[in-house]
Structure 1
């Protein structure tokens, strides 16, 4: 199928930066004449990616879209079909990570996390399935995360949204197979993108005074996460290559892990190690093991004051 990508219409959400932007550029470079629909919230950055792709020979439509708004997700599908008449491959890539202890994350932030990471992609998928079926098939690739298979402290809400996306993907894979619509999930690990810095901003918005919370020690360690993971972080282009494998495989797999040692990590964490050991690992990784002592020390200090 790879040679025929030049005749395909590929819709990529979250295409202004990171994995989505890299995927668009790689596709434009490798498959001259490919038709791309690029969607994201930031129109200026989206235009820069689009221009890069056009110079490489792609036919590009840009649609400024906030996937957190279901009506905008549906409008994206309508504009795409009006312009190109079809979508052969949908890449649900847009998403972000709402980090923070579950006790403290405001419900409005929880709703926004699920709106962007789950409901927007679902609405877009629903809007595009009928034309894929009518045309005899298509592909849907949902970009999840290792956090869609493993939950960890401080990232519970993000993992919950990605667990849900993976569940939808599994159901869709079974429901749509009779119509020759193939559904795959791509699971990146750490990636050198704006993800961590954006996650940090989300924490600040949801928890205005992290220093005053019982989780201060863990939230402080969260700021060091990029340094901890940088050695094993993939580039966006490396993840884009994995997505292209899912796009072009004759028999696409249900899941593609895009992380150094990712398969081994999943095997150990889900199949081999006892739960208490896995818990202890993540507690140390995210600084939860420091929380009780830090909180008690501060309480005593406040009492003495």
Structure 2
């Protein structure tokens, strides 16, 4: 039986850790009825103590997403905010990364977000209001060594967000892009593991090991921003009367995006090789 709540309802994907977890807590504190979604529901048990409702959702499984959205509508009667946060980084030389892995990264980072948006939009249009928040990355504006597939997904989600913003404006719906920089989370460790798995030997070994070491280094983690910073930015965006279209936030995001805009391509290439420790020859 549907019980229409007066509190705004938010769905946050990838909520078992990092930015998603912090965002679920932040929006709950702001008075939202929050549905935290992830594949590993057991890792979200502590969120229930904060009044957050947890649901199992795999953004590569259409039935899973449909069931999740239907559950929210059945219980709360509405969805006001969708935060597409689920995603991961898979690094490796283009020549080395299996196409199956490339496709999977697109399934998670792009098609999952797009399909969930399709499922949620009819409910936002009924209310003629709502916000869709897509978590891209400063990696949606810049490029780094051995990050071809990851950056491709984030560039794609940036483009989808811009087109979608035009499409849904007549229905009172806004689309907001969050572009995090370096964040303390599981992301860097996963990305480092991926690049080591495919490019730690062979012709790209020097680059692969340098990128993996850079991603997992103590100095990188020390400089990285806490996920709570991104969560507070998301809260600011979804509660604003008129939000910005984009928020670049977190370690390195604004300066790196700026440098990519003003530097010649080959100069930026040199900078990225130096930052990641990748040899030029």
Structure-1-length-normalised TM-score: 0.85
Q: 1:204 and 1:217 mapped to 2: Cα distance?
A: 11
Query: 1:172 aligned to 2:164?
Result: yes
Q: 1:215 and 1:6 mapped to 2: Cα distance?
A: 56
Higher deviation after alignment, 232-241 or 66-75: 66-75
1:138-149 aligned within 5 A: 138-149=130-141
Higher deviation after alignment, 105-114 or 196-205: 196-205
Match of 1:220 in 2: 209
Deviation per residue, 1:89-113 (Å, 9 max, x gap): 0000110001111111100001100
Match of 1:52 in 2: 49
Distance 1:111 1:248, change over 3 A: same
Distance 1:118 1:160, change over 3 A: same
Query: 1:15 aligned to 2:15?
Result: yes
Q: CA deviation at 1:211?
A: 4.1
SS in 1 for 2:209: helix
Match of 1:303 in 2: none
Contact 1:148/1:166 (8 A) holds in 2: yes
Q: CA deviation at 1:171?
A: 0.5
**May I ask how many residue pairs the two structures share in their alignment?**
275
Q: 2:99 and 2:192 mapped to 1: Cα distance?
A: 18
Match of 2:226 in 1: 235
> Which runs of 5 or more residues in structure 1 are unaligned?
55-59, 293-305
Q: CA deviation at 1:212?
A: 2.9
Contact 1:74/1:123 (8 A) holds in 2: no
Structure-2-length-normalised TM-score: 0.92
Q: 1:235 and 1:52 mapped to 2: Cα distance?
A: 22
Deviant stretches of 4+, over 6 Å: none
Q: 2:99 and 2:91 mapped to 1: Cα distance?
A: 13
Distance 1:288 1:126, change over 3 A: same
Distance 1:249 1:211, change over 3 A: closer
Match of 2:28 in 1: 28
Give the alignment partner of residue 99 of structure 1, picking from 86, 91, 96: 91
Q: 1:285 and 1:160 mapped to 2: Cα distance?
A: 20
Distance 1:204 1:273, change over 3 A: closer
Contact 2:180/2:250 (8 A) holds in 1: yes
1:123-138 aligned within 5 A: 123-138=115-130
Higher deviation after alignment, 278-287 or 154-163: 278-287
Match of 2:275 in 1: 285
Deviation per residue, 1:76-126 (Å, 9 max, x gap): 222222221110000001100011111111000011000000111111100
Higher-Rg structure is 1
SS in 1 for 2:279: helix
